[in-house]
A and B are shown apart, each in its own frame.
Chain A
C-alpha cells in the first residue's frame, strides 16, 4: 500500500480539508501513475502516446486519465496473471461488453478496508444488524449470480444478523421484515439495497405497513435512470421514506466497479463526498478543463486504491456537478471536500450521415 493511501485511510473518514487532501492525493497519484507506467505495458503506451510519457505532475487535474470504457475493451492489469485473486466484472445486459477488473490479494484487502472506513462514517464502529433490501437468492442461486449479487455480498460483510426483505421473486417478505425489527428492538440497524429496488420492491410494497425504520441507516446506490422513469428524484425519494417509515438517515452513494472500494457517500445537503483517498473533477465537455463550482460536466474520478490495475484516474460517462465545497465541519457528521451531484449519463451518440445537417437547421 502506498504511503499516501495509508495516511488517507488513517485520518478520520471524510475529514480532510481540500489543501491537505489535494496535497496528499497528488503525491499518491504521481506514485500510482509511475507504478502502473512501470508494470502495465498498455498503460505505458497510452501515457507515452497521449500524455508525452510524463508520470509526475504538479496538479491533480494534470494526472492522465483513461476513458472508463477501456476496461471493457482492454485487459489492463499491473500484476502478473498468477497473482490475480479476484476478477470483477461490471453489470451489463447480455451481449454487451463488461468491464474486467483484476485484484491481487493486497488490492482485495485494501479495497475492503477502504470501504469499511467510508461506511464507518455513517454506521459507526460497531457492526449493526442488517436488513438487505433484496433476496438472498441473488447470491445463493448461481443462475441469479450477477454484479448485483456480488455487490450485495460485498456490503453484507459490514453488517451482522442479516435479514432479507424480499423473496426470490422479489415480492415483499413481510414476516422476515417484522421479525427483524422485533429482534432489533429499537436499536440502530443498517439497511442496504439498490436504489430502484428500495423504491419499487420495498417502499411501494411496505409503505402502508406501518413500519418504524427511524433507527435505521439506509445506504443505497445503483443509478437513477429507472428512478427518473418513475419521476422520482433524490429529494422526493428521501421525503417519501421519511413520511412512510420515519427513515431519515439515508445515504446514496456513487461508485463503480472500475474503482471498487471507493464510494462517494451522500452527506449534508444531498450531495456526495469523496473519501479522503479519492476525489472528483468535473470536466468541461468542450475544453476538457476542470469546470468551476456549480458548472455541470463530465465526471472524472480519482482514487488511491487501484494498485493492481491502472484505474486511479478515470473519465466516466456520467454527468455531474460540484454543488458544494467544504460544507461540513470536522465533527462526527462532517463532510469535507467536494459535494458531488450526479446528473445522469452522457447521452449515447450515434453517428449518422446527417447530424451536421441537423445542427445547421437547429
Chain B
C-alpha cells in the first residue's frame, strides 16, 4: 500500500496516487516565481522555530540554507541563466525525487531547488522513516498545503520494483536518484518519459587535505578550530554522507607528531559532543581495520576510542573503497597537492582543504580534472549542499529553455497588414 502526506500521513491506492501524478503534467510554474520563494522561506521559519531542530545541526543547516536572503540569491542565480540569450526559462515538468536513506535532509535540498525551478514534484520517501524524518516531512507537507501548493508538491511512499513504479516513472520529465550504486542501477532500469532526464547521484567518497607546513605553523586556537570543523564534516550523518571525509591526506613531509596532535584534538571534539557509537559499530571498525592490515591495504592502526579509529593507508584507491563510517578514517601522505590526482577516481566527490593558497587549489583542480572530485571546499563545509552538485549545475537540468527567434523584417511588415 502507498502512503501520502496530505498533509497528514494517510494511505492511498495506486489509482488515486497515479491520478494525482498525472494531473501534475502541466502544473509547472514560472521558474523563480515569488510565491514559491515565499513558501520555501516559510519552511525555513517553521524548521528554525521548532525546538526539535535544535537537537540536530543538520536541520539547523537546512533551515539556514532556506533562509529568505539565501533563497533570493538562488532565485537570482536561476533566472539570470537566460538573461543574455533572450530565451524564456521554463520548468522541466514533473520531477521525481528518490532521496537516500542515509542523509535525511537531502530530499529537501533536491526538492526545494526543483520547486524554485517551477517544477511539479513527486518525492518518493522510504517506507520506514526515522521519527526525525517523519517530523520533517510533516512539517513541510503542512506548509505546502497552507500555500495551496499541495496539488503540485507530492510527498509519498510506494514500493520499488513493481508495475506501479513503472507507471509513475512514465509520467516524469526528470528523475533525481540519490543513493547507493545498486539503487541507482536498479531504479535506472525503469523508464521515465521518452524525453525525460534521469540523473544518478551514486556512492561517492570524500577526502580532507591538510597542508603539513600550514598545520605546523597553526597556533593552538587554529588547530582546535580545524579539529572542530573536521568533526563536523566527519561525524554528521555518521560519516555516511557522500561528502563525509573517509581519508585524511597530509600534503608535505609525513609527521606522526602532527597527526597525533590533530587526532587528540579531534578526539576531544568528539568527547565534547558526547557521541557514542554502539558496540557493534566499534567491533565493525576493529574488524575492518584488521582486514585492511591483513590485506596490506593499511599498515598501522590507531584505536583512539570507539568513536575515532585511524588506519595508515598504503593503497589509497582501495582505502577509499573500503570505508566504514561512524568515525573511521584512513590517513595518507603525499608530497605535493597535485599528487591527489593519482588516486582520484570517478568515485571521489569532495576535497576538503586546510592550509592552501588559491593557486595551489587551482593546481589541484587542474590535476584532478577529467578524473573525479567535484568540490574543493574548506574543511567544515564538506556537507554543505550546493546548486552545483557532483559537477552538475542542477538548475540547468531542472529547467528547459524556450528559444525565441524573432521574425525577419519582411514578415514583420506582413504582420502589420490588416487581414481584410
A interface residues (Cβ-Cβ under 8 A, vs B): 42-43, 45-46, 48-50, 66-67, 69-70, 73-74, 76, 285-286, 288, 298, 315, 317, 346-349, 351-361
B296 interface residue, CB < 8 Å from A?
A: yes
Cβ-defined partner of A67 (8 Å) among B241, B290, B312? B290
B87 interface residue, CB < 8 Å from A?
A: no
Q: Is the CB of A353 within 8 A of B103?
A: yes
CA A226 – CA B281 in complex, angstroms?
A: 24
Could you say which residues of chain B place their CB within 8 Å of the CB of A49? 293, 298-301, 311-312
Could you say which residues of chain B place their CB within 8 Å of the CB of A360? 55-56
Q: Is the CB of B238 within 8 A of A353?
A: yes
Could you say which residues of chain A place their CB within 8 Å of the CB of B301? 49-50
CA A43 – CA B283 in complex, angstroms?
A: 18
Q: Is the CB of B290 within 8 A of A50?
A: yes
Q: Is the CB of A74 within 8 A of B295?
A: yes
Cβ-defined partner of B278 (8 Å) among A46, A74, A347, A357? A347
Q: Is the CB of A70 within 8 A of B294?
A: yes
CA A46 – CA B241 in complex, angstroms?
A: 29
Q: Is the CB of A356 within 8 A of B235?
A: yes
CA A49 – CA B294 in complex, angstroms?
A: 9
CA A252 – CA B273 in complex, angstroms?
A: 44
Cβ-defined partner of B104 (8 Å) among A69, A349, A353? A353
Q: Is the CB of B294 within 8 A of A298?
A: no
Q: Is the CB of B283 within 8 A of A346?
A: yes
B284 interface residue, CB < 8 Å from A?
A: yes
Closest chain A residue to B105, Cβ basis: A353
Cβ-defined partner of A46 (8 Å) among B235, B281, B294, B324? B294
CA A67 – CA B301 in complex, angstroms?
A: 14
Top-5 shortest CB links A-B: A349-B280, A42-B294, A353-B237, A49-B293, A50-B301
- Tell me whether A67 and B299 are in contact in the complex, defined as CB-CB below 8 angstroms, given that A286-B306, A349-B278, A353-B103 are known contacts: no
Chief secondary structure at chain A's binding surface: mixed
Closest chain B residue to A43, Cβ basis: B294
What would be 9 A-B contacts, judged by CB atoms less than 8 Å apart?
Answer: A49-B299, A74-B295, A285-B306, A349-B281, A351-B324, A352-B240, A353-B103, A353-B237, A354-B56
Could you say which residues of chain B place their CB within 8 Å of the CB of A354? 56, 104, 130, 132-133, 237-238
Within the complex, the shortest CB–CB distance from B135 to chain A, in Å, comes to: 11
Contact with A along B285-314 (1 / 0, CB 8 A): 011011101111011110100100001100
Within the complex, the shortest CB–CB distance from B301 to chain A, in Å, comes to: 4
Closest chain A residue to B106, Cβ basis: A353
CA A348 – CA B236 in complex, angstroms?
A: 21
CA A352 – CA B236 in complex, angstroms?
A: 10
B72 interface residue, CB < 8 Å from A?
A: no
B330 interface residue, CB < 8 Å from A?
A: no
Could you say which residues of chain B place their CB within 8 Å of the CB of A347? 278-280
CA A48 – CA B291 in complex, angstroms?
A: 13
Could you say which residues of chain A place their CB within 8 Å of the CB of B281? 349, 351
B326 interface residue, CB < 8 Å from A?
A: yes
Count of CB-CB pairs between chains A and B under 8 Å: 119
Within the complex, the shortest CB–CB distance from A26 to chain B, in Å, comes to: 23
Could you say which residues of chain A place their CB within 8 Å of the CB of B132? 354, 357-358, 361
Could you say which residues of chain A place their CB within 8 Å of the CB of B326? 351
Q: Is the CB of B241 within 8 A of A353?
A: yes
B interface residues (Cβ-Cβ under 8 A, vs A): 55-56, 58, 100-104, 130-133, 235-241, 273, 275-284, 286-287, 289-291, 293-296, 298-301, 303, 306, 311-312, 324-326
Could you say which residues of chain B place their CB within 8 Å of the CB of A317? 280, 283
- Tell me whether A357 and B56 are in contact in the complex, defined as CB-CB below 8 angstroms, given that A50-B301, A74-B291, A347-B278 are known contacts: yes
Could you say which residues of chain B place their CB within 8 Å of the CB of A74? 291, 294-295
Could you say which residues of chain A place their CB within 8 Å of the CB of B55? 357, 360-361
Within the complex, the shortest CB–CB distance from A256 to chain B, in Å, comes to: 15
CA A356 – CA B241 in complex, angstroms?
A: 13
Residue of A48, A67, A356, A361 most packed against chain B (CB within 10 A): A356
Residue of B100, B275, B293 most packed against chain A (CB within 10 A): B293
CA A358 – CA B238 in complex, angstroms?
A: 11
Could you say which residues of chain B place their CB within 8 Å of the CB of A67? 283, 286-287, 290
Could you say which residues of chain B place their CB within 8 Å of the CB of A285? 279, 282, 306
Closest chain B residue to A67, Cβ basis: B287
Q: Is the CB of B290 within 8 A of A356?
A: no
Q: Is the CB of B295 within 8 A of A42?
A: yes
Add 5 more A-B contacts to A288-B303, A351-B102 (CB < 8 A).
A67-B290, A285-B306, A298-B279, A353-B103, A356-B275
- Tell me whether A346 and B280 are in contact in the complex, defined as CB-CB below 8 angstroms, given that A315-B286, A353-B238 are known contacts: yes
Within the complex, the shortest CB–CB distance from B383 to chain A, in Å, comes to: 10
Closest chain A residue to B279, Cβ basis: A285
Q: Is the CB of A352 within 8 A of B101?
A: yes
Could you say which residues of chain A place their CB within 8 Å of the CB of B240? 351-353
Could you say which residues of chain B place their CB within 8 Å of the CB of A359? 275-276
Could you say which residues of chain A place their CB within 8 Å of the CB of B280? 317, 346-349
Could you say which residues of chain B place their CB within 8 Å of the CB of A356? 56, 235-236, 238, 273, 275
Within the complex, the shortest CB–CB distance from A171 to chain B, in Å, comes to: 38
CA A218 – CA B373 in complex, angstroms?
A: 63
Cβ-defined partner of A45 (8 Å) among B131, B296, B306? B296
CA A69 – CA B285 in complex, angstroms?
A: 11
Could you say which residues of chain B place their CB within 8 Å of the CB of A315? 283, 286
Within the complex, the shortest CB–CB distance from B215 to chain A, in Å, comes to: 24
Q: Is the CB of B287 within 8 A of A70?
A: yes
CA A279 – CA B286 in complex, angstroms?
A: 22
Could you say which residues of chain A place their CB within 8 Å of the CB of B235? 356
Could you say which residues of chain B place their CB within 8 Å of the CB of A45? 293-294, 296, 299
CA A347 – CA B303 in complex, angstroms?
A: 21
CA A21 – CA B306 in complex, angstroms?
A: 31
Q: Is the CB of A351 within 8 A of B325?
A: yes
Within the complex, the shortest CB–CB distance from B285 to chain A, in Å, comes to: 10
Could you say which residues of chain B place their CB within 8 Å of the CB of A73? 287, 291
Q: Is the CB of A352 within 8 A of B238?
A: yes
Closest chain B residue to A49, Cβ basis: B293
Cβ-defined partner of B279 (8 Å) among A76, A349, A351, A357? A349
Closest chain B residue to A73, Cβ basis: B291
CA A349 – CA B284 in complex, angstroms?
A: 9
CA A46 – CA B278 in complex, angstroms?
A: 24
Q: Is the CB of B299 within 8 A of A48?
A: yes
Within the complex, the shortest CB–CB distance from B134 to chain A, in Å, comes to: 11
Within the complex, the shortest CB–CB distance from A77 to chain B, in Å, comes to: 12
Could you say which residues of chain A place their CB within 8 Å of the CB of B101? 352-353
